[in-house]
């Protein structure tokens, strides 16, 4: 009886450890993927803007100011953090014994 109880406790502890490890790794990977996707999209947009011939320059100036604000406000990191937290909340809701 004691052996079975220890086995159940060991399996439960292993599941909790692996679940926490999995959620941590998923959060880090999601953050990196989202940041890289946003970075690539911004680089693509900037290269397309460089190839355009804008007569007055108003659009290019506005894009430059918007890009400067996005950089100063850490837009990429903020968006990646929000999506990571939404993913974490979704994963935590999948735990059957937790009530939200």
List CB contacts of 55: < 8 A, sequence separation 6 or more. Answer: none
**Could you read off the pLDDT of 55-84 as tens digits, one per residue?**
544 444 456 677 777 777 777 778 878 888
- Helices (H) and strands (E) in the chain — how many of each? 3, 0
- Is residue 43 packed enough to be buried (19+ CB in 10 Å), middle (13-18) or exposed (0-12)? exposed
Q: pTM to 2 decimals?
A: 0.41
Predicted confidence (pLDDT) per residue in 13-29, tens digit? 888 888 888 878 887 88
**3-state class of 87 per DSSP?**
helix
Average pLDDT, the chain: 76
């Amino acid at each position: 009886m004691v052996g079975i109880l220890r086995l159940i406790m060991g399996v439960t502890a292993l599941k909790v450890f692996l679940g926490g490890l999995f959620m941590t790794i998923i959060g880090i990977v999601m953050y990196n993927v989202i940041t890289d996707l946003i970075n690539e999209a911004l680089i693509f947009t900037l290269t397309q803007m460089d190839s355009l011939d804008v007569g007055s320059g108003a659009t290019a100036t506005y894009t430059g100011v918007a890009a400067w604000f996005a950089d100063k406000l850490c837009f990429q990191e903020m968006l990646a953090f929000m999506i990571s937290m939404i993913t974490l909340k979704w994963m935590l809701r999948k735990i059957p014994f937790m009530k939200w």
